């Protein structure tokens, strides 16, 4: 309840600051906010678009959250998401029996995401390399590798601005408007991680290792194994974010500038902070992001410039993410003051 109250107060503060920004430039803030919510939730099609935009953010948010629960600052979701997307797309080149394409694409993209997270774990445990440094470097490797494959190897021969589109049998069925059955992947992963972290022995070990590694070791818990497990689970989740963006959203391809994949991995960090690094909270944080993204177009129709919309969105997101970010920083400083044995 305290966390919920803090989030509501932060949201109110962000909304008020955003309103002050719009009012200072002579705009009608409350009319703009009304347009935002109408554009995001005003009808079934708008709600479907909002939910569709939030689904990959659930998965990248979970990547950061499961790492944070293990005491890691994992910002590698962007690279793992890109690899998951390009691997899922490439499965469209395979000759498989009907009905198998989608399952194989999800399985191979999950494997790619886990393998891309594995070097982070190995560098952390064998050489003491900070996961912040290694994930930043691997994000850029993944970016340029994906761009090379998209432009040079997977480009559509007719429409050069994107790759080939995935076959119909490989796509998630449409539920309503932009919303497809890919929601089962995002919600299912969130529910699985909630059960795993709070009701499974190894999940308890992951949380214990993150809260106090010294006490966890004294209790016989392998902190190294907990970290590896958290990184691998995060890699799978991020890879599926890229996969459902390709298999469950138009244009069912990857654009040559990677624009339809965007910064989902980095946005997931803010989603996780808003959701207090709790799988169920992340569902709400991702939906909040979806509301902001979908409703922005309606705000523009009210005469709010794009730059001002982005400022307002940023103010609200920072206000809501700040409490959890500060809590993580306090925990990090406390751990740095401790002398933790290897």
| Ramachandran bin of 177, using left for φ above 0, alpha for ψ from -120 to 50, beta for the remaining angles | left
Nearest in space to 87 (alpha carbons), one of 63, 57, 64, 107: 107
Strand partners, 179: 176
Residue 335's pLDDT is 65
Cβ-based neighbours of 57, under 8 Å, separated by 6 or more: 241, 264, 267, 268, 271, 285, 286, 289, 290
Residue 37 makes CB contacts below 8 A (sequence gap 6+) with: 291, 295
N- to C-terminal Cα separation, the chain:
37
Residue 337 has what pLDDT? 63
Q: Residue 153 and residue 144: Cα distance in Å, rounded?
A: 13
172 three-class SS: coil
Per-residue pLDDT tens digits of the chain, which is 342 residues long = 677 787 788 888 888 988 898 898 888 888 888 999 899 998 999 999 999 999 999 999 999 999 999 999 999 999 999 999 999 999 999 988 878 999 999 999 999 999 999 999 999 999 999 999 999 999 999 999 999 999 999 999 888 899 999 999 999 999 999 999 999 999 999 999 999 999 999 999 999 999 888 899 999 999 999 999 999 999 999 999 999 999 999 999 999 999 999 999 999 999 999 999 999 999 999 999 999 889 888 888 777 887 888 888 888 888 888 888 887 777 777 766 654 444
Cα 137 to Cα 26, 73, 119, 147, 329, distances in angstroms: 43, 14, 11, 16, 22
Whether 199 is in a domain gets the answer: yes
What would you measure as the largest C-alpha separation in the chain, in angstroms?
Answer: 62
Residue 328: CB atoms within 10 A of its CB come to 16
Residue 209 counted as domain residue: yes
Which has the closest alpha carbon to 40: 291, 251, 220, 249?
291
If one counts the domains in the chain, the total is: 1
User: Does the residue 230 lie in any domain?
Assistant: yes
For residue 294, is it within any domain? Answer: yes
* C-alpha separations of 213 from 145, 164, 293, 303, 315 in Å: 36, 47, 39, 53, 35
CATH number at residue 133: 1.10.3470
Q: What domain range includes position 73?
A: 2-337
202 part of a folded domain: yes
For residues 217 and 139, give the distance between their C-alpha atoms in angstroms, rounded to a whole number. 31
Q: Give the pLDDT score at 338.
A: 57
pLDDT of residue 328: 79
Q: How far apart are alpha carbons 109 and 87 in whole angstroms?
A: 5
pTM: 0.91
Strand partners, 174: 180
Q: Mark 222-239 as b/e (b = at least 16 C-beta within 10 Å).
A: ebbebbbbbbbbbbbbbb
In a domain, 342, yes or no: no
Indicate whether 85 belongs to any domain: yes
d(CA 277, CA 198): 13
Structure tokens at 334: 């406390």
Q: Show the CA angle centred on residue 206, arms to residues 339 and 216, nearest 5°.
A: 40
Report which DSSP code applies to 99. T
3-state SS assignment for residue 120: helix
Whole-Å CA distances, 230 to 68, 117, 295: 9, 10, 34
Please state, in angstroms and as integers, the Cα–Cα distance from residue 116 to each residue in 78, 185, 257, 287, following that order. 11, 20, 22, 27
Buried b / exposed e across 176-211, counting CB within 10 Å, b at 16+? eebbbebbebbeebbeebbebbeeeeebbbbbbbbe
């Amino acid at each position: 309840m305290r966390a919920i109250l803090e989030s509501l107060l932060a949201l109110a503060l962000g909304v008020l600051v955003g309103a002050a920004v719009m009012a200072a430039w002579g705009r009608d803030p409350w009319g703009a906010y009304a347009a935002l919510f109408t554009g995001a939730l005003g009808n079934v099609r708008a709600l479907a678009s909002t939910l569709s935009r939030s689904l990959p953010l659930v998965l990248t948010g979970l990547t950061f959250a499961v790492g944070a629960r293990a005491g890691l600052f994992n910002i590698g979701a962007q690279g793992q998401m890109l690899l998951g997307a390009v691997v899922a797309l490439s499965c469209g080149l395979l000759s498989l029996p009907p009905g198998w394409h989608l399952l194989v694409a999800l399985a191979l993209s999950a494997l790619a995401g886990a393998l891309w997270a594995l070097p982070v774990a190995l560098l952390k445990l064998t050489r003491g390399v900070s996961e912040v440094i290694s994930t930043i470097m691997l994000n850029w490797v993944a970016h340029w590798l994906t761009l090379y494959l998209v432009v040079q190897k997977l480009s559509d021969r007719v429409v050069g601005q994107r790759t080939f589109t995935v076959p119909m049998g490989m796509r998630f069925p449409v539920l309503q408007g932009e919303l497809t059955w890919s929601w089962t992947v995002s919600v299912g992963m969130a529910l699985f991680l909630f059960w795993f972290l709070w009701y499974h022995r190894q999940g308890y070990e992951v949380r214990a290792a993150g809260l106090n590694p010294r006490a966890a070791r004294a209790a016989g818990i392998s902190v190294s194994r907990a970290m590896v497990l958290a990184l691998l689970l995060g890699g799978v989740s991020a890879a599926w974010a890229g996969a459902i963006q390709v298999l469950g959203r138009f244009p069912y391809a990857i654009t040559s500038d990677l624009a339809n994949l965007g910064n989902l991995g980095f946005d997931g960090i803010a989603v996780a902070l808003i959701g207090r690094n709790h799988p169920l909270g992340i569902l709400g944080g991702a939906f909040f992001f979806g509301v902001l993204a979908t409703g922005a177009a309606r705000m523009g129709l009210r005469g709010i410039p794009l730059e001002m919309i982005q400022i307002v969105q940023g103010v609200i997101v920072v206000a809501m993410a700040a409490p959890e970010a500060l809590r993580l920083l306090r925990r990090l400083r406390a751990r740095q003051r401790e002398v933790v044995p290897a």
